[in-house]
Amino acid sequence: MDDQKYMNHNGKDFTDNKSKRILQLEKEVAFGLWVQVLGNIIELKGLSELFHIEEDANTLGEQQILTGVWIRTIGQILEAVSVSKQLKETDLLKLIEEQKLAITGDLLVSLGSAYEVIGGIHVLEEEAVKIPRIVP
């Protein structure tokens, strides 16, 4: 029998299967957040390099997209760090602070995504203004 004890967020010991399963699922959530962070960093790297290579990348829309991805990535990192810290936290006040930090990260992710959408709309508008070339 597994004698390992786990602590819930209220500091109480528990060893039942449901509580162990909850802890396992919380760890999966934290892992998923870190996978998202990695994806955001890869996206940010690629977009940054494209921004510097493309000749017409200095448009307002392109800049807004890149800024939105930066904001989203920072928020995702903040959320992932906070959720990871929550897994080990037994002090209720510290847990609440980490939860507030995770919510702040979520807010930044949302704001970054919204700013990225605005940039995408600007890019579409800028592209629509250009006269299409007729290929003979």
User: What is the length of the chain?
Assistant: 136
Average pLDDT for 14-40: 91
Tokens of 47: 């977009």
| Segment 82-132, tens digit of pLDDT | 999 999 888 999 999 999 999 999 999 999 999 999 999 998 888 777 665
State the pTM of this model.
Answer: 0.78
Percent helix, strand and coil across the chain, each to the nearest 5: 75, 5, 20
- Find, among 119, 126, 127, 122, the residue nearest to 65 by Cα: 119
- Find, among 55, 62, 52, 46, the residue nearest to 124 by Cα: 62
Q: Which class for 93: exposed (0-12), middle (13-18), buried (19 or more C-beta within 10 A)?
A: exposed
Q: Which of residues 90 and 37 earns the better pLDDT score?
A: 37
pLDDT at 13: 53
